[in-house]
Amino acid sequence: MIGNPVKVDMHTLRVARGRFARICVEVDLTVPVVGRVGINGEWYQVQYEGLHII
């Protein structure tokens, strides 16, 4: 699990962009971040935005 969901991008909600999903989540920075996540038996790469400003 990446973290608790906070907000989902409107394009993601509308399935307007088939290759990407942009979701804002709370991340516990006391543990290492994950590089991929499994959803329905498929594995997807996770990219983080904004960690460099923390």
How many domains are contained in the chain?
Answer: 1
| Closest-CA residue to 22 (of 8, 37, 34) | 8
Instruction: Give the structural domain span for 25.
Output: 4-53
Predicted local distance difference test score (pLDDT) of residue 16 = 66
Calculate the average pLDDT of the chain: 83
Q: How far apart are CA 18 and CA 1, in angstroms?
A: 22
What pLDDT sits at residue 39? 85
pLDDT of residue 36: 92
* Dihedral in degrees, nearest 10, Cα atoms 19, 25, 51, 12: 20
Per-residue pLDDT tens over the stretch 7-27: 888 877 777 666 777 888 888
Span 30-38, average pLDDT: 90
- Distance, in Å, from the CA atom of 53 to the CA atom of 43, rounded to the nearest integer, reads 28
pLDDT, position 43: 93
Rounded to whole angstroms, how far apart are CA atoms 18 and 16?
Answer: 6
